[in-house]
Structure 1
Amino acid sequence: MATFLIITAILAVGVPVSRGGRCVPGAPCDVSADDRSVLQAALAAAQTYNNQSNDSFLFRPQRIIKAQRQVVKGVRFLLDLDLCRTVCRKRDKPQKNLQDCDLQPPGPLHQMFRCHVEIWVVPWSHHRVTQRLDCQSERREQSFGQSERRMMVSE
């Protein structure tokens, strides 16, 4: 009987992430890039990038490539996305909505980063932590990495 329980426990570790379209509790689960909470997490990633970058222009998400959500004492988002330079300058009057900033047109000022971000959100306490933000330039000239930045969500 004890052997059966040990084997069952070992096999349980290899349980698939989803069954019949449902997520296994505690495991990352694929979600739509159009999900409202995913879009908010992508904007939070851009905010973290903009706060850490020395660039004169703001960056915003252009495309979410992959999105996962994991429920762990809050919600953890794992996103792969493209951040692109906008025409909005950091020194100018702050934009109400980063999405209102147009992207830089193709040319010398156009720049895009492919990023992986992990953001942990605790909605009931308005707490957000960017646990990981790794970005690689599309030109492979620069890379930007950041870990454990704490920010409060203002909603």
Structure 2
Amino acid sequence: MFIWFCIFVFAASGCCVNAGNTMTGRSHKVPVNSTKVLRAAQFAVLEFNRANVEEQFAYKIVNITSAKMQVVAGINYIMDMLLGRTMCKRIYTADSEPCVLHFNPKELQCHFVVTEIPWEDSRALTLNKCHPYNH
């Protein structure tokens, strides 16, 4: 009987675990300028630039318009941001932040999800959707 009680308590607590004020699985807004969001955003742009082989120039963050965090089997950082094309060649730069924006502007509106598993020290760009931004 005690074992069944323990299983019940464990199962009940597993579906309602709090991460701050949010239940596991539900996303919640977080400040776009928080350290963790900025770190996830920089990682997303780095991975985007690596994968964006049809583009000659690197992109950098112009503005993070929204950010959410979701606790799952790790942490998802769900971000919408505006990227701008820079003067730096994509293949020669690992960090596009110090690069100046291109004189021929090209901006992208992007939706990124970065999944971080802190206890495994791993991070991956799990969703990458970008389209041209029209003012």
In structure 1, the partner of 2:63 is: 63
Query: Which structure 1 residue ranges, 5 or more long, are not aligned?
Result: 1-20, 140-155
What is the identity, as a one-letter code, of the residue corresponding to 2:80?
D
In structure 2, the partner of 1:116 is: 111
Taking the aligned partners of 2:96 and 2:33, their CA distance within structure 1 comes to 17
Query: Which structure 2 residue ranges, 5 or more long, are not aligned?
Result: 1-19
| C-alpha RMSD over aligned residues | 1.8
In structure 2, the partner of 1:76 is: 76
Question: Deviation at 1:22?
Answer: 3.0
In structure 2, the partner of 1:134 is: 129
What is the identity, as a one-letter code, of the residue corresponding to 2:118?
P
* Structure-1-length-normalised TM-score: 0.66
Identity, in percent, stands at 25
What is the identity, as a one-letter code, of the residue corresponding to 1:118?
V
- Return structure 1 stretches of 4+ with deviation > 2 angstroms: 21-26
In structure 1, the partner of 2:26 is: 27
Higher helix share: 2
Question: Deviation at 1:24?
Answer: 3.0
**For each residue in 1:43-76, what CA deviation from the matched residue of structure 2 results, as whole angstroms up to 9, or x when unmatched?**
1221121112121111011111110001112110
Q: Which secondary structure does the structure 1 equivalent of 2:81 belong to?
A: strand
Taking the aligned partners of 2:38 and 2:91, their CA distance within structure 1 comes to 25
Q: Give the direction of change, closer, same or farther, for the CA distance of 1:91–1:128 in structure 2 (3 Å limit).
A: closer
